[in-house]
């Protein structure tokens, strides 16, 4: 069982930066795939960035080059640094965790449906 609590959302001007944080309780945090997802009004929830237990990140095209996901397994925390913000980044951002999947090799899923644990979300609003 994992409990996730996000923080760091808020309002920003276009071109600005925000850092989102997620505090996790429960073990084993280090074994989980961790991800950031977002959902804008009237749209489906989409993945933004994922990081596996080894710390390897993957980014959605929409944020690639503008965002950095990181994790601290010793502190059970997950972060997302976003820069060069655009109004299209406005959404509720969620931290999520799940066990990795196993195919030819171990991997982190990208579908929200495959993630087991979710935080309550933190709102990000970017003005032009």
Span 65-104, pLDDT tens digits: 999 999 999 999 999 999 999 999 999 999 999 999 988 8
**Which residue in the block uniquely carries the two structure tokens 């977002």?**
38
State the pLDDT at residue 26.
80
pLDDT band at 28 (very low <50, low <70, confident <90, very high): confident
Measured CA to CA, the distance from residue 69 to residue 97 in angstroms comes to 14
What is the Cα–Cα distance from 111 to 88, expressed in whole angstroms? 20
């Amino acid at each position: 069982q994992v409990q996730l609590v996000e923080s760091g959302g808020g309002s920003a001007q276009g071109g600005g930066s925000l850092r989102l944080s997620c505090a996790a309780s429960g073990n084993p945090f280090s074994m989980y795939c961790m991800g950031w997802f977002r959902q804008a009004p009237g749209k489906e929830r989409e993945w933004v960035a994922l990081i596996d237990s080894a710390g390897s990140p993957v980014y959605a095209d929409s944020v690639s080059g503008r965002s950095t996901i990181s994790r601290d397994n010793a502190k059970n925390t997950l972060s997302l640094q976003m820069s060069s913000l655009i109004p299209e980044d406005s959404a509720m951002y969620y931290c999520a965790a799940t066990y990795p999947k196993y195919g030819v090799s171990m991997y982190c899923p990208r579908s929200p449906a495959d993630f087991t644990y979710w935080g309550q979300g933190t709102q990000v609003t970017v003005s032009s």
